[in-house]
Amino acid sequence: MIRKAFAVLLWLPSYSVLAQSTVEAAYQQALDQARSGDTAAALPQLRALASEYPERKNYLYDYMQVLLWADRNEDVLNEAENLDLSTAPAYALETVAKAARNQGQWERALALYQQASALTPDRLTPQLGIGLVLLDQGRHAEAVIHLQQLQERYPESIEALLVLADAENNNGQPDKALALYRRALLIQPSHADALRGLVFTLANNDAVEQALRVAASQRELFSAEEWAGLKWQQAAWLIRHGEQALYLDSRDYRLTDQAIAALDDNIASVERLALQNPSNWRQRARFDLLVALRDRRRMNDAIALYEQLLRQDIVIPVYARMAAADAYLNNRQPEQARDLYLGVIAEAPDYANAKTSLAYAYLEAEQPDQALATAEQAALEQPASISARQADGSATSLPNPQKAAAEMTAAIFHAYVDDLEGAQVRLEKLRLEYPENTDIHNKLAEVYYFRGWPRRARRELDMAGQQAPGHFGLKLNRAKVAHELRDYPLEAALTHELYAYYPEDSGALKQMRAWQRHNKPELKIFASGGVSSNQSNGEDANPLLGNDNTAIDGYLYSSPIQRNIRAFTHQGWRTGLFKESEGGRGYLRIHGAGLEYAKDAILASLEVHYDHFRSEAVGVDLGLDYQINDQWQLFTRLSSLDNNISLRALSAKDETVTAKSAMLGTTFRVNESRFFRASAAYTHFSNDNDRVVLDGTYYERWHSGPVYKFATYLNLAYSTNSRPNQGFYFNPKQDAMLGITLDNDWLTYRHYETDFHQHLALTIGEYWQQDFGVNTVGNIEYAHRWRLGPDIELSYGGGRSYRYYDDALTESWQGYLTANIRF
């Protein structure tokens, strides 16, 4: 600033009042006109005098000086071409040097200032000129050294102080510049350039509030544009520091609210300030307001302002479009956000935050491949280190703090596109590289949670929580993990804490909705039906289900009682057509009630049910699941009246058969893509038949993509009956089956909590029955699965199956429907 405003100290000679000649009077008149600012009148007169009296060089030198005052730098240099500057006085050399400097002829200007300084070693002006040229050339360090030496020689010179302050600013030392401006003001408290330099240096170095206070004390020194610039800069400072406050505490909106108030006031003051381009100032304030509204999470207001600007055909800058895109993404309009981010990146290719946000927009717009590629590219583009300027002005290399964040985002996006193993490997590597980075610990815990390891996730969260106990993400994931571990009191406490402090946050809101869903009553419905035919009896039935079979069961659960208990009722109806049954049809009605208990590693249930079939009976069912750790689970079932046995047994007209049963099993769950399950079941029928069933399953998901997943189930089962072929139900002496199921799942549609999957399963196997040998069996099933918002899940499908009973093929068409509704 001072470089532009500083005028070379002039030496224009004054002549004695005794010189009253006409020539001298004309000369003096021209000088007076020039000094008063009327250079247009002075220049012709001085030019004429210089031409008429070439022996009086001072006329020409003064003519060149007034040309300089009139900003006619090229004319000064042209006149200098006809002069022998080696004999010119210092002030003339300074004039030509200043013109050369104004024309960007740095070397010529420097040489002329040095020549003038040699002629007048004690003169300040050429020494200042040397410093200014060094600054023009970008030789800031040299300029500072030169000007510091000069200031020591002229400690009371305000001009020397101001030029040195300008040099310190250009050398990246604003604190030193501020000290120099304050020294100048101590010498001359009302010095305009010193005060203006102090204000603008403060404003440009994060002290805009102080700058405004100083400027307000001398308001007349600042134009309307300069005053508006300070006020607009203050609003930008409030926005920037408001964002920093939100990073530390996402509920600290104090500075952001002040920014919004300041921007509203700035917009209202545009006309009052009588600015030269009021529309430009108003638009700039509205652009900043768009950012502040986004930061305040007033997303609807931000979108409304953005769309208003669009309707007015206003060209919106990158940073304001970025804020609008963030608002659209927050409001679940990812397509609009995506297009805005793409426009921002096209205009500002190095805008790293826009690329990260674009990855999230792609993800929420169900473009997973583009999402992952964008996140990976953003991580690749972040350098490992950055250059930073130190206090002494030198540069040093520092680790790039954005590198870890970009790599973490790329890693977690692998999880978001269902590559959980890849995400885990990368995040565990990042954890080793950045052990103090809480966000990395948090995302790694999230992946452990996704993989079905809630205890491992909890350990990771607890470890990270020791470093950052108030970390929002840690608390959010702890609430999710607490739900999985059935620690409902902890989940409740964390959920309410998060929502109380961060109600605008989408994560806190989603967790609160999940908790509210957990506390709602629940209705579960299971319905199935079909038709069968059996080679051995033609029109008769599937020995297990019967022909024209129908089954429906409904469970209505209460809201949780004391966090861990739910009461439920159970109503069921089953029917099927059998040749042996009374009237050709069997049936079963179930009326049950019970309790479910869920806490920590335990999920237990108790049901008392009244069953009405050919007879009537009351039974009790007990169930217990116990999670030993993230891998091992034990489960057991006990029933005093097992109503899951064959309807044919319950409906036989000659002998109604009931049963008691017990089952014990275990599951070893490696991760989300692999588990092993084994169980042993014992059933004692009322006709003294004892059945033992051994069953084992190996599950493997071979492909896990964001749209298509492919898995297999390998199943081996064996059963034996102590009284084979007795009673009207299928009870071979021994049988066994080995089968494999090819399970295919396609995500066909998804929009946040609404999604639609298509499912195709093909099963083929070999069935062996003692005395009848081996037969090939199989089935094909096609199904739809819907999630209709957070409270409704619906599945329905049908299939064709081929089974053998006593060496007779049974073909069945079966359909089913299940629903899970919270209300």
Which CATH number is 433's domain given? 1.25.40.10
Task: Please report, to the nearest 10 degrees, the dihedral formed by the alpha carbons of residues 701, 703, 706, 707 taken in order.
Answer: -100
CATH classification at residue 669: 2.40.160
Q: What is the mean pLDDT of the chain?
A: 91
| In a domain? residue 172 | no
Q: Are residue 553 and residue 702 in the same domain, yes or no?
A: yes
Q: Are residue 510 and residue 531 in the same domain, yes or no?
A: no
- Give me the pLDDT at residue 719, please: 97
| N residues, the chain | 823
| In a domain? residue 813 | yes
Task: Look at residue 146 and tell me whether its pLDDT is greater than 90.
Answer: no
**Better-scored residue on pLDDT, 536 or 511:** 511
Q: Binning pLDDT at 50, 70 and 90, where does residue 391 land? A: low
Q: Are residue 574 and residue 696 in the same domain, yes or no?
A: yes
Contacts 24+ apart (CB under 8 A), 151-156: 154/124, 156/187
Q: Measure the CA–CA gap between 566 and 543, rounded to whole angstroms.
A: 37
**What are residue 257's phi and psi, to 5 degrees?**
-65, -40
473, 490, 517 - which closes a domain: 517
Structural domain including 532 reads 520-822
Q: Are residue 625 and residue 770 in the same domain, yes or no?
A: yes
pLDDT tens sequence across 33-62? 889 889 898 899 889 888 888 888 888 999
Q: Binning pLDDT at 50, 70 and 90, where does residue 611 land? A: very high
| In a domain? residue 275 | no
| In a domain? residue 62 | no
Task: Look at residue 598 and tell me whether its pLDDT is greater than 60.
Answer: yes
Task: Look at residue 652 and tell me whether its pLDDT is greater than 90.
Answer: no
Q: Are residue 568 and residue 478 in the same domain, yes or no?
A: no
Q: Are residue 563 and residue 700 in the same domain, yes or no?
A: yes
| In a domain? residue 655 | yes
Query: SS3 of 41, please?
Result: helix
Q: Are residue 504 and residue 574 in the same domain, yes or no?
A: no
Bridge pairing between strands 754-769 and 734-751: antiparallel
> Which amino acid, residue 111?
A
- End-to-end Cα distance, the chain: 69
479, 498, 517 - which closes a domain: 517
Cβ-in-10-Å burial (0-12, 13-18, 19+) of 122 comes to exposed
- Give me the pLDDT at residue 536, please: 63
The neighbouring-strand residues paired with 594 are: 568, 607
Task: Look at residue 684 and tell me whether its pLDDT is greater than 80.
Answer: yes
- Give me the pLDDT at residue 352, please: 92
Q: Are residue 456 and residue 533 in the same domain, yes or no?
A: no
Task: Look at residue 16 and tell me whether its pLDDT is greater than 60.
Answer: no
Task: Look at residue 542 and tell me whether its pLDDT is greater than 90.
Answer: no
495, 517, 539 - which closes a domain: 517
Reported as type and span, the H/E element at residue 75 is helix 73-81
Q: Measure the CA–CA gap between 159 and 151, rounded to whole angstroms.
A: 9
Cβ-in-10-Å burial (0-12, 13-18, 19+) of 332 comes to exposed
The neighbouring-strand residues paired with 587 are: 575
| In a domain? residue 130 | no
Owner of token pair 């604190």: 175
Q: Cα separations (Å) of 789 from 264, 752, 793?
A: 39, 8, 8
Q: Are residue 571 and residue 458 in the same domain, yes or no?
A: no
Q: Measure the CA–CA gap between 451 and 550, rounded to whole angstroms.
A: 37
Taking the model in full, what pTM does it have? Answer: 0.80
Answer for the pair 368, 360: CB distance below 8 angstroms, yes or no: no
Q: Are residue 582 and residue 689 in the same domain, yes or no?
A: yes
Q: Are residue 486 and residue 561 in the same domain, yes or no?
A: no
Mean pLDDT of 119-136: 88
| In a domain? residue 404 | no
186 backbone φψ class: left, alpha, beta (φ>0; ψ -120 to 50): alpha
Number of domains in the chain: 2
Angle between helices 352-364 and 334-347 (to 10 degrees): 150
| In a domain? residue 410 | no
- Give me the pLDDT at residue 10, please: 35
Q: Are residue 426 and residue 540 in the same domain, yes or no?
A: no
pLDDT tens sequence across 336-378? 999 999 999 999 999 999 999 999 999 999 999 999 999 999 9
Nearest in space to 497 (alpha carbons), one of 471, 464, 520: 471
